Amino acid sequence: MAIHDCDSQPGLRPYLDAKHDMLTRLDAITDNEPVSLDQSLNRILADDIYSPIDVPSFANSAMDGYALRATDAVTDAALTLIGTSLAGHPFNGRVGPGECVRIMTGAALPLGADAVVMQENCRSEHNIIYPRGAVTEGQNIRQPAEDLAQGERVFAAGTRINARVLSVLSSLGLEQLYVRRPLKVALLSTGDELKSPGELLAPGDIYDSNRIGIGAMLERLGIRVIDYGIIKDDPALIRQAFLKAASEADALITSGGVSVGDADYTKQVLEDVGRIGFWKLAVKPGKPFAFGHISDSPFFGLPGNPVSAAVTFHLLVRPALAKLAGETLKPTPLLQAKALMPLRKSPGRMDFQRGMVSTQADGSLGVVAAGSQSSAVYSAMAEANCLLHLEQDRGNVAEGEMVTLELIDGLYW
């Protein structure tokens, strides 16, 4: 009961409420820039994209076989082969009654023909082709505009250009696109104990992992990172860094110092030089997450514990950066899986435990906790492939109960 009471602290903002509130206080950048198609991967479309052409622009064959007139393919039909249509080398004549043309996948359908019979269904002897079985008009033909019609809206502004989107944009023949300019985000860690990779650890020191890990996530999101390094737990230095960062960047991300310890100055300085939107959230890990503004720049104060920093980045900063960058995020698919082991959970905060989900022998999903759920144990996080969404009011999860989760592998972290 004591643990429960401790977690049910009044004044903690529920996750979805805080997220909604935060998003309403953010405005997207409006600056656009042209990029060539081959430089557009991972950028955000500034405009809706309409197809300038029909795709495909001509009727073509979906098979290797013979182009003919469907009405000619009667029982015992014998068709005269009059030519060949290869991809990129159309047949220039016309297919008349009793005739056919050898045709390869992607090759233009010759005039006069209205069907393609796959070669496995034909017998060929001395330039005479004997099709087998019934042939219907349009069979094995890809019609013009079957994929996309000229003038059709293909992508909406706000779409992130991934490899699949890029492939479709390429099929339209576009050479240049307008995209949002990349966001510039200032990133810094606070803590007297933090050392950079390569430095020697003095007693009590640890290596800074948040700046590296969060920086990597930002880079994968196509964001320009301005690295402010490690700032000591000194309000004057923190203040100086915050003001400089706010003047240089579209947003500021810090880690550490947002709790209530003696050397936790982040929130205090934020209140001093800017405005705090909210602080304490009813989430685990990541209760002390600070959101606010310094002049016009949004401020995201991540907790110091690396797991809390990464999880709150995903839960709150990722959607915030999408809004700032003008990116439309698709809703995250949530899956149901059976807990294959008991999970400890106290009511009061939504708990985003790190898990490993896998497909069971019967095809259903099963999930186990990925190692320690302590927010200070980052190694378990790297092993995880999913984030459990354990509801705020839920208590312990017994083995066999269903839980909600989202997949995190293959995203940006």
Rounded to an integer, what is the distance from CA 175 to the centroid of its chain? 24
Size of site (CB under 5 A) for Mg ion: 4
CB of residue 260 vs ligand AMP: minimum separation in angstroms? 9
CB of residue 5 vs ligand AMP: minimum separation in angstroms? 23
Question: Contact residues for ligand AMP (CB under 6 A)?
Answer: 189, 191, 193-194, 206, 208-211, 255-259, 261, 264, 303-306
Task: Identify the residue among 256, 274, 303, 366 touching Mg ion (CB under 5 A).
Answer: 256
CB closer to ligand AMP, 45 vs 194: 194
CB closer to ligand AMP, 177 vs 214: 214
Partner from ligand AMP, Mg ion, none contacting 61, C-beta within 5 to 8 A by type: none
Partner from Mg ion, ligand AMP, none contacting 134, C-beta within 5 to 8 A by type: none
CB closer to ligand AMP, 159 vs 210: 210
Partner from Mg ion, ligand AMP, none contacting 292, C-beta within 5 to 8 A by type: none
CB closer to ligand AMP, 61 vs 255: 255
Q: Which stretch binds Mg ion (CB under 5 A): 78-86, 144-152, 303-311, 352-360?
A: 303-311
CB closer to ligand AMP, 105 vs 259: 259
Q: Record the tokens describing residue 122, joined without a space.
A: 């034909």
CB of residue 153 vs ligand AMP: minimum separation in angstroms? 44
CB of residue 261 vs ligand AMP: minimum separation in angstroms? 5
Partner from Mg ion, ligand AMP, none contacting 314, C-beta within 5 to 8 A by type: none
CB closer to ligand AMP, 304 vs 366: 304
CB closer to ligand AMP, 40 vs 373: 373
Can you tell me the distance from the alpha carbon of 131 to that of 101, in angstroms, rounded to the nearest whole number? Answer: 12
CB closer to ligand AMP, 66 vs 300: 300
Partner from Mg ion, ligand AMP, none contacting 312, C-beta within 5 to 8 A by type: none
The 3-state secondary structure of the chain reads CHHHHHHCCCCCECHHHHHHHHHHCCCCCCCEEEEEHHHCCCCEECCCEECCCCECCCCEECCCEEEECHHHCCCCCCEEEEEEEECCECCCCECCCCEEEEECCCCECCECCCEEEEHHHEEEECCEEEECCCCCCCCCEECCCCCECCCCEEECCCCECCHHHHHHHHHCCCCEEEEECCCEEEEEEECCCEECCCCCCCCCCEECCHHHHHHHHHHHCCCEEEEEEEECCCHHHHHHHHHHHHHHCCEEEEECCCCCCCCCCHHHHHHHHCEEEECCECEECCCCCEEEEECCEEEEEECCCHHHHHHHHHHHHHHHHHHHHCCCCCCCCCEEEEECCCECCCCCCEECCEEEEEECCCCCEEEEECCCCCCCCCHHHHHCCEEECECCCCCCECCCCEEEEEECCCCCC
Q: Which stretch binds Mg ion (CB under 5 A): 154-162, 301-309, 367-375, 383-391?
A: 301-309
Query: Interface residues for Mg ion in 8-47 (CB under 5 A)?
Result: none
Please state the length of the chain: 413
Task: Identify the residue among 191, 292, 301, 366 touching Mg ion (CB under 5 A).
Answer: 191
| Sites of contact with Mg ion (CB under 5 A) | 191, 256-257, 304
